[in-house]
Structure 1
């Protein structure tokens, strides 16, 4: 097979993206067009249809709509306020206290909701009045929110890790989940370090009243049920009590019961939650199915092998190759959302990484951490735009403020890339990998 056909495939995809065609549609159309040129028409359409269906015919993927539903229930169930109050207890007396509260609340809320955008919106709306009252620069506080909200995509339960498990050929979801804790926490700590240094320079300090032990205890009790979701779901998955899909169903029941107890759920809200869940699920599953067509087309045209040969011809030094991968993914993340990037580039880069001795779990952490940075960077950074819309800050000012965060996050990415045990120590401790 002439591998130039593979380049035409990528060219057709980029051409459609330039004309603002939705990514899932661009993936499907470009793949179908290339298949039509190398196969008889009836076989091309039949193969594309089969791959579209088989791509989403996975028990593991059932976890995604249930985690989305649980996250949507929590978004509207009064969870954010309780987690923000709890975060104030933990980091509320540091310089730039509210910025640290923002980071920690994003980590907590992102982990229970599984959505960076939801965390940016919910936590941003909750904290914005207080940040403005205490005189924080709007572009700085917006940058903190945008840079830290993707941490929840690494801290389980994470739909991104489930997608990676499916597209990588069945990497253990339990191992991916437990491996995500250290990189996710490091992402949050990196943001807190930058926020601390900037807060000291600008003289931001906490102006709130010190809480009594009784108040701290009461706030912790209010937050514990929300935090309990992670313990119940992740503990059950890692302990082998239930699968990730069954854990997602339990997450729905848990979050629904919690929202009822908080009395923040009614019939109208529930209807909206179900509609939003169906819309997001439909988009994600079509995207996964379309990406399966592209993966087959790429494999058929030999594109992954061509890219692998090209990269290895540049250097056979793993350090150079991993830096090249990270640079490519950083650029990709600036223009493409995390899920389609994982679906498209995992089949290309993972064989190269494993050939050079990188464990699939380690590769997953490197890749998703990398693409999380893209969520907070222009021109397509969804978390950046959501954070700006919540705070009302001008995006050009926020871009200047977010650059130090991006620099430190890239440095942390290098640590994740070249220190495998940051990703592999916990899965090994729990006996999930050798």
Structure 2
């Protein structure tokens, strides 16, 4: 069965079949051809994969993001970021980074950021004289902050795919790495701006402008505080936090009178479409991931790694390299569902903290979103900005290096991922 599963997976992948369907097809066909398992197990595992209370947080967070965008608060975040950091060298680049960090606290999705605020700032950068490929590359790189800073959809998926980790704990584990990603990209943008002569706005924002833009953006800025605060204080679960975020976004739009019936309807439709695709991927990937565990692939891989190294750090580096290579070829969400049950037990047996491993894996696969040949964020930016993918891939390399340095810090320093969760009592 193992040979059938692997051969079918790579054969359909080479033929260009979407990754979610390659996993579903490979899993179901392997079960039918083997004959040792009841064929109904494929259907059972598919429904078991999405029969999860924590997973219900995903559609709520997606809906909250769509409603906040429909409120028009993306522009408010842009104005706030421009007033705060627009005067620095390479000002619009710093605006791009800060807006992505702020929007990450609303969306939890790299693709939502890439198609939304990052695309807007990319156009602003091009109009201001920035190289079009660099503007696109920076927008792609900043979009990867979305799945790291809480609330994160990938954190929810990881938490339900392994044991010993809570959604709240992994949310907290993403705070420091998310900030480090923003700082590393800011340093890279500063250096590139000096080299290419990119400047910021001519005048520093006045106190009045700063106060006005802060007040306008405040409703969006406090949403992450409501989500995390409510979870940490025990007021609601992460799933209920998603519902509260959606209700807050809907109420905010009504109070500000920034909603139209058409806009709200479109937001619900987009959220439903995105949720459907996410749940389809989770369901089909669950069959594949369960079969890998059933066939004891993790144990075989662990035995192979133990012949190379028995140290915690050595094991973590091998797993990180393996995940990085997978991220080059497999889309983020299905890769996370496949790799978590395979690599997780290996990391835990080597003494790696589950929070550190979870953040390493999520960050690793998120970085894969801006690496060819798959790189979904690169494809979005390429389509939105009408850029050649080859030129965009070249321009993103120095920014990719900055993100890999943050990944190295997460691997070498466990406290980067575990300090904040430990501080709030979410130690493993």
What TM-score does the superposition give when structure 2 sets the normalisation length? 0.96
Pairs within 5 Å for 1:41-190? 43-169=37-163, 171-190=165-184
1:30 aligns with 26
User: 1:422: Cα distance to partner?
Assistant: 0.5
Give the aligned partner of residue 228 of structure 2. 234
In structure 2, what is the equivalent of residue 399 of structure 1? 393
2:396 aligned counterpart, secondary structure: helix
Instruction: Identify the residue that residue 354 of structure 1 maps to in structure 2.
Output: 348
CA deviations on 1:264-287 (whole Å, 9 max, x unpaired) are: 322222222222222222222222
Q: Structure 1: how far apart are the matches of 2:73 and 2:11?
A: 42
CA distance in 2: counterparts of 1:65 and 1:122, whole angstroms: 18
User: Which residue, 205, 212, 217 being the options, matches 1:218?
Assistant: 212
Contact preservation (8 Å) 1:178, 1:238:
no
Aligned to 1:331: 325
| 1:377-416 mapped onto 2 (5 Å cutoff) | 377-416=371-410
> Which deviates further from its counterpart, 306-315 or 93-102?
306-315
Q: Do the aligned partners of residues 7 and 237 (structure 1) sit closer, same or farther apart at CA in structure 2, a change above 3 Å counting?
A: farther
Q: 1:78, 1:262 within 8 Å by CA — same for their partners in 2?
A: no
Structure 2 distance, partners of 1:125, 1:34, is 42
Deviation at 1:9, TM superposition (A): 1.7
Displacement of 1:360 after TM fit?
0.8
Q: Which runs of 5+ in 2 are unaligned?
A: none
Between the aligned partners of 1:263 and 1:125, the Cα distance in structure 2 is 25
Residue 6 (structure 2) aligns with: 10
Task: Between 265-274 and 374-383, report the one with greater CA deviation.
Answer: 265-274
2:202, 2:29 → 1: CA distance? 61
Counterpart of 1:21?
Answer: 17
**Counterpart secondary structure, 2:387:** coil
**Residue 129 of structure 1, CA deviation:** 4.1
What is the alpha-carbon distance in structure 1 between the residues aligned to residue 304 and residue 354 of structure 2?
Answer: 21
CA–CA separation in structure 1 for the residues paired with 2:124 and 2:277: 36
Kindly indicate whether the alpha-carbon contact (under 8 Å) linking 1:187 and 1:412 is maintained by their aligned counterparts in 2: yes
Residue 382 and residue 262 in structure 1: after superposition, are their counterparts in 2 closer, same or farther (change >3 A)? farther
- C-alpha distance in 1 between matches for 2:29 and 2:115: 39
User: What corresponds to 1:260 in structure 2?
Assistant: 254
**Bigger shift: 229-238 or 308-317?**
308-317
Distance 1:66 1:108 in 2: 18
1:98 Cα deviation (Å)?
A: 0.5
Mapped to 2, the partners of 1:37 and 1:128 lie a distance apart of: 50
| Mapped partners of 1:26, 1:363: distance in 2 | 26
Give distance in 1, aligned partners of 2:133 and 2:380: 13
**Corresponding position of 2:305:** 311
Aligned residue pairs total 428
**Residues 70 and 252 of structure 1 are in contact (CA less than 8 Å); yes or no, is this contact kept in structure 2?**
yes
Aligned 8 A contact 1:62 1:245 in 2? yes
User: How far, CA to CA, are the matches of 1:208 and 1:393 in structure 2?
Assistant: 29
- Take 1:388 and 1:260, find their aligned partners in 2: how far apart are those partners? 35
Distance 1:259 1:198 in 2: 39
Query: After alignment, is 163-172 or 234-243 more displaced?
Result: 163-172
Assess if the C-alpha contact under 8 Å between 2:149 and 2:171 holds in 1: yes
Question: What secondary structure sits across from 2:146 in the alignment?
Answer: helix
Q: Secondary structure at the match of 2:201?
A: coil
Tell whether 2:426 aligns with 1:432: yes
Gaps of 5+ in 1: none
The CA deviation string for residues 348-401 of structure 1, in whole angstroms up to 9 with x for no partner, is: 101110111111111011001111111112121121122222333322222111
Deviation at 1:312, TM superposition (A): 1.5
Tell me, in whole angstroms, the C-alpha distance in 2 between the residues paired with 1:208 and 1:74: 31
Task: Identify if the C-alpha distance between structure 1 residues 299 and 127 changes in structure 2 by more than 3 Å, giving closer, same or farther.
Answer: closer
Partners of 2:192 and 2:44 lie apart in 1 by 54
SS of aligned partner of 2:144: helix
Which has the higher mean CA deviation after the structures are superposed, 310-319 or 330-339? 310-319
Structure 2 distance, partners of 1:134, 1:288, is 42
Distance 2:177 2:43 in 1: 38
Answer whether contact 1:377 1:384 (CA < 8 A) is retained. Answer: yes
